[in-house]
Structure 1
Amino acid sequence: MIRKLTGEDNGKVMDFLSDEPSINLFIIGDIEAFGYDTSFQELWGEFTEDGTLIAVFLRFHNSFIPYAKGSFSVHQFAEIMKLYSDRPVLSGKAAIVEQFERAAGLSLGRKQQTFFAECRTTDHLGSTDLLVEKAAISDVDRIIQLRSTIDEFVVNENAHEMLIQAMESGTGRTFYTEEDGTMTACASTAAENSMSAMVVGVCTHKNYRRKGHATAVMQKLFKDVLEEGRILCLFYDNPDAGRIYKRLGFKEIGMWTMYR
């Protein structure tokens, strides 16, 4: 049986999701931030006859994330997606979302696969002699400017507002280094919740690369989050970046697939 979830289901839902808090970072964060009863966010659950929850399905605007620990009703969830969008954005654990490729009549966008990694310990972080600062709202313009110089980055047109919102709501933070008034590197979190946080926006000014700036900001950011008892998560598809993250204590826990 599939039905809409409500606040009364929250305890059961969080218990279900907490078995894989990193993989479920976005679902947990959106529930904590917006609950079960808004115009832009809805959640469905699939239950067995005895009331056991076996799947959760999140809609956030036109984006959808499913989570299950075993078999679930792929085609019924696909029908829900079709009610909201002709071309929905679908993402999640690869083994789960790739099952939707066989759903009849569901138009999925371009497929993108990335490695999903998590870090639970500060043991491998090391230290730095560089001065690392925590960014304030007054630094947002400089963060956006630095990101806009990175060829690999596509800066969202709403990035300025999104960064301010993350800082004000406590769902994101940024650390940076600078020299002679120039921001040389920065790293941020996003989608922070009570269990985990996503690492985003790691970048170094082109004139300051290979000098340890990115490593320094990551060391500071990672330690700050981990010492609060949260798990750090990130996506990557660049092998060179993957080697750096692994040296800092990250371990691959699976693949994340997105269709958009």
Structure 2
Amino acid sequence: MNLFIIGDIENFGYNSDFQDIYVQFDTNGEIEGVLLRYQHSYIPYAKTKIDIKNFIKVITEDPDLVMVSGKEELVSQIGEHIPFQKVKKTFFAELKNNSIRNEVEHNYLVKKASLKDVERMFELQVQIEEFDFGPEAKQSYIRTIETNTGRSFYIENHEGKVISLASTTAENTYSGMVVGVCSHPDVRQKGLASIVMSELCLELLSEGKSLCLFYDNPRAGRIYKRLGFKDIGKWSMAYPN
């Protein structure tokens, strides 16, 4: 559940201008809660309950607030004090090394992406209606590849266009977050997403990392569970506009 917080601290430290980490202490001086700011998005976490007054103060002082995301119960607490216009609730699932199953057999060539593939990957994702990709998405791909905080696997057609894709982001010593799983509308229902997902998962698991992902589409959930993902909670993303 703390993949983003762990990954961002590990990868970007405490002195990045786009990131801050606020800590909530108990009466014994032990850390019991954390609030991460990454650019203008915030992730709260607490073992029991958050320091709602101070968490709200930090978040609302940001005039360019984009999103608050985290465990459903924590985001709901914050939502009682901030008038979010949209809240997206998803299932949060995890895959560990001892639970992967049904490795997909296929005849497709699956490739691991490099910087030269970013433009083609982005061209696929902007065609996916379910995704809301802005101009910053392309730069995010570039950053994850350059910093080794994410990777992508894809299948291309005979014209060299990417037709199926699965990626990770926020990778750290322990885990990686699966994002952007998709296939071109013309080639759906052919198992391509399962193929690229399988290749992606096997590589991370071979490195001793677990994988996590969000999903709200039951069809996608069935694909992930066939690979061995198990639901471990719910994750909410709340937007002020």
* TM-score, L = length of structure 2: 0.91
Offset from partner CA, 1:103-135 (integer Å, 9 cap, x none): 3xx343411111111111363141323221111
Aligned mate of 1:127, from 88, 104, 123: 104
Deviation at 1:36, TM superposition (A): 1.6
| Secondary structure at the counterpart of residue 226 of structure 1 | helix
Gaps of 5+ in 2: none
Change (3 A) 1:76 1:177: same
Give the count of matched residue pairs.
236
Counterpart pick for 2:224 among 229, 245, 250: 245
Whole-Å separation in 2 of the counterparts to 1:259 and 1:141: 29
Out of 17, 21, 36, the residue aligned to residue 14 of structure 2 is 36
- Larger RCO (alpha carbons 8 Å, 6+ apart): 2
Once the two structures are superposed, the pairs formed by residues 146-161 of structure 1 within 5 Å of their partners are 146-161=124-139
Q: 1: CA distance between counterparts of 2:197 and 2:179?
A: 10
Aligned to 2:169: 190
Match of 2:193 among 200, 211, 214: 214
Q: 1:199 corresponds to which residue?
A: 178
TM-score, normalised to structure 1, is 0.85
Which SS does the other structure have where 1:198 is aligned?
strand
Contact 2:173 2:209 in 1 (8 A): yes
What is the RMSD of the two structures over their aligned residues, measured on CA atoms? 1.7
Q: 1:83-122 alignment to 2 at 5 Å? A: 83-85=61-63, 87=65, 89-103=67-81, 106-121=82-97
8 Å CA contact 1:88, 1:107 repeated in 2: no
| Rg (Cα) greater in structure | 1
Identify which of 58, 67, 71 aligns with 2:49.
71
**Is residue 87–residue 107 contact of structure 1 (8 Å, CA) maintained in 2?**
no
Q: CA deviation at 1:77?
A: 1.4
Aligned AA (2:91): F
Q: Secondary structure of 2:61's match?
A: helix
CA change 1:150–1:54 in 2 (3 A) is: same
1: CA distance, partners of 2:49 / 2:193? 41
Q: Structure 1: which 5+ residue stretches go unaligned?
A: 1-22
| Change over 3 Å in CA distance of 1:207–1:71 after alignment to 2 | closer
Contact 1:89 / 1:258 at 8 angstroms: preserved in 2? Answer: yes
Instruction: Tell me: CA distance 1:48–1:218, structure 2 relative to 1, closer, same or farther (3 Å).
Output: same
Equivalent residue number for residue 4 of structure 1: none
Shift of 1:88: 5.4
